[in-house]
Amino acid sequence: MTVLVLGGAGYIGSHAVDQLINQEYQVAVIDNLLTGHQEAIHSKARFYQGDIRDKEFVRSVFAQESIEGVIHFAASSIVGESVEDPLKYFNNNVSGTEIVLEVMHEFEVKSIVFSSTAATYGEPEDNPITEMTPTNPKNPYGESKLMMEKMMRWCDEAYGIKFVALRYFNVAGAKTDASIGEDHHPETHLIPIILEVALGQRDQLAIFGDDYNTEDGTCVRDYVHIEDLIDAHILAFEYLKAGNPSNIFNLGSNSGYSVKQMLEAAREVTGKEIPAEVAPRRAGDPSTLVAASDKAQKVLGWQPQYTDVKKIIETAWNWHANRPNGYQE
Ligand code: UDP
């Protein structure tokens, strides 16, 4: 039996494929390679290049493979872009998922684990955020993920397709041996941008606002290591296989770090000066997002290994320093 990974050539998907194969799962991958990298896909995975919105293509993969469940990472994920072009997000994320569910229903595949996001919560007043915190997305990206969750809920009721939605906080780092890592174009995330400054590829970090209501005035986020995050997906997959009900879990580290703290930690890890300057706030950034992930620990038995943010940055640094041009070389 095979696990089908949608978006297996992307940053998070490629780490999932790698960990699944290292744990002896049979893996098939679908990716349209619009943002992913073929080189990032483990050579032991069977790769099908195509788009999840192409129903005939998705059907052909389900017909060829004996699929026991799906792990779904195939989505657009840039918040700013989603505000400029919401229809791109409703098309790729929502319509794409709808096609996947139609084909799952047709082929009687009954479990799906998928990437949701802390952006479904919007700007909650209280932290840490639990799964009971009301959802109130502030951008089309978060809205599209919440719509995906809701679609899954009704498909569970009607067709018995069980799902686990994993609401990620800030995913960071790379595989410990630095063979795969994060490579986005354009890059918008804090840690890779800081490390590009450390490598001399950018002049300085722009700190987006230092007048937030936080200890040092910069935004606070909860950073979770990519390999810990994937562990939770595999546990969630097994949880569904064991016949458990659909569920939603936050995935974070339960601790918050400000932009300035992250910069300081990166300076220590890299030994580089990393110039930075305070810039205006970025539209739509909530001041603080910190997860309570106790539910995933309790119900799934998830045990994140990376509790020190410097260790997370170190794995990202090993990747970026080894592959300064990412997969392009
Ligand atoms: N950030 C920053 N400068 C940058 C990129 C990000 O100050 O060049 C800040 C951003 O405002 C946010 C935090 O770093 O408070 C994390 O941003 P990222 O885009 O990595 O993730 P997000 O929290 O938006 O999902």
Which tens digit of pLDDT belongs to each residue from 32-76?
A: 999 999 999 999 999 999 999 999 999 999 999 999 999 999 999
Which tens digit of pLDDT belongs to each residue from 252-309?
A: 998 999 999 999 999 999 999 999 999 999 988 899 999 999 999 999 999 999 999 9
DSSP state of 91: I
Q: What is the pLDDT of residue 306?
A: 96
Secondary structure class of 299 (helix, strand, coil): helix
pLDDT at 329 over 70: no
Average pLDDT over residues 107-129: 96
Write down the mean pLDDT value for the chain: 97
- Residue 271: exposed, middle, or buried by beta-carbon count in 10 A (0-12, 13-18, 19+)? exposed
Is residue 141 part of the annotated active site? The answer reads: yes
Distance 71 CA to ligand 1 centre (A): 26
pTM tops 0.85: yes
Distance 190 CA to ligand 1 centre (A): 5
User: Which residue out of 121, 141, 168, 257 is catalytically annotated?
Assistant: 141
d(CA 287, CA 209): 10
Distance 94 CA to ligand 1 centre (A): 25
Q: Measure the CA dihedral 125/131/136/139, to 10°.
A: 100
The finding on whether 202 has its CB within 6 A of some atom of ligand 1 is no
The finding on whether 59 has its CB within 6 A of some atom of ligand 1 is no
Nearest to 320 by CA among 152, 172, 215, 217: 172
